[in-house]
Homo-oligomer: A and B are copies of this chain.
Amino acid sequence: MRRRIADVAIKMFVEEGYEKVSIRNIADKIEYSPATIYLYFKDKDRLLYEVQTEAFHKLTDHFRDKITDKDPFKRLEQLAMAYIGFAWENPELYDLMFIIKAPMNAIPEEERWEGGDGSYLALLDLVNECVEKKVIKYTDPNLAAMSMWAFAHGLISLQLRGRCLKATSYTVEDLPQVIEKAAREFLNNMKA
């Protein structure tokens, strides 16, 4: 039943957008009462967190498919492009993975961030290798990993929230290429 609810929820978030989906909508779709959902999920934040975890599995799969090169720096490039590509293809999922506050409220102070941790560690491991082999300028892997993440996230979230189009002179057709170009430039600048 938990599965059933989570499956429908993730589908509805993707199709209709997070903001337009309510507990009642989900309950209607699975033809149960809204109260039933609360037997399986403490509250909406907790359900969102479950959906987020699912989404991170999707991202992990996406990474597995796209990160294939032997050279660690090339792999770093592939990771960056895969991250951006995922966001572009799944904007609604990206939203609740990285932008919306709600699902994070469901994680108690001390607990691990199930989904996010895994993906971040994939990046950190790779950056570690790059630092060891001196293929990037950075010497602190944590700082390098966070910087890469922040840059990619910044590009994506400014775009997803409509700030890019309004402030820059780029058009909606340009943006995908512009963002990729910016990412390439960023990677170039951190190359040893």
Contacts and interface: CB of A to CB of B under 8 A. Distances in A.
B98 A182 contact: no
Nearest to A111: B166
B151 A150 contact: yes
Contacts of A178: 143, 146
- DSSP class of A's interface residues: helix, strand, loop or mixed? helix
Contacts of A147: 151, 155, 182, 185-186
A138 interface: yes
Contacts of A143: 178, 181-182, 185
B189 A137 contact: yes
A100 B163 CA distance: 10
Given A143-B178, A189-B137, A189-B190, A154 B164 contact: no
Interface in A143-173: 143, 145-147, 149-155, 157-158, 161-164, 166-170
Looking at A117, A137, A158, which has the most chain B CB atoms within 10 Å of its CB?
A: A158
Interface in A107-146: 107, 113, 116-117, 120, 137-138, 142-143, 145-146
A157 to B, nearest CB: 6
Contacts of A162: 101, 104
B150 A155 contact: yes
14 contacts: A98-B158, A99-B99, A99-B157, A113-B163, A116-B167, A142-B168, A143-B181, A143-B185, A147-B151, A149-B167, A150-B155, A153-B157, A153-B158, A154-B157
